[in-house]
Amino acid sequence: MALTVDIKKRLPDFELKISFTCKDGDLTVLIGPSGAGKTTIIRIIAGLVKADEGYISYKDKVWVDTNRGIMLPTRKRRLGFVFQDYTLFPHLNVYKNVAFAAVDEREVEGLLRLFEIWHLKNSMPHKISGGERQRCAICQNLARHPKVLLLDEPFSALDVEIRRKLREGLKNIKEDLAIPIIHVTHDLSEALFLGDTILPVVRG
């Protein structure tokens, strides 16, 4: 089973066109310079931006088909989406941030331990580091049991050692997740380390 993407989007200075598939358990990296349209692609997959033309499906469910006027709402795509900035609830501690999103709260401890932040379970987001907040955001998204995981340069603002740990953690769990993962980066070493497939995105 796979996520299938075949889309076009007119941007101010060029037309973005891309076509690819990403199988369950695989990680596809979109790599390219700023302004090439990488974030726009995953925002279209998420349903946050509309494609001008194209088709997106996962398994037997069509998410987008511009020819037939199909546009499945974001909430019905059951996605995980990790941004560069941290989408945590500031009034909830680390444990409650993940538990709030969890399909099964019994999995929360395991996720926090996997990403080495169990010891921070009672900490508030503003009391922990950027790397720890990003790990919490990843746990929060995985706790939703997403059908597809979208990662928009989630490690770019972190220091080298934290980036290395998070890359290794993601690589270690991706096959167990058995879902398509789309990862946006401008870092070639990150792309080579993580990607089953690497797709360069450049301005047309």
The band of 167, judged by pLDDT with boundaries at 50, 70 and 90, is confident
pTM for the model stands at 0.90
How is residue 146 written in tokens? 């997403």
Local structure of residue 200 (DSSP, 8 states) = E
The band of 204, judged by pLDDT with boundaries at 50, 70 and 90, is low
Residue 71 has pLDDT above 70, yes or no: yes
The band of 86, judged by pLDDT with boundaries at 50, 70 and 90, is low
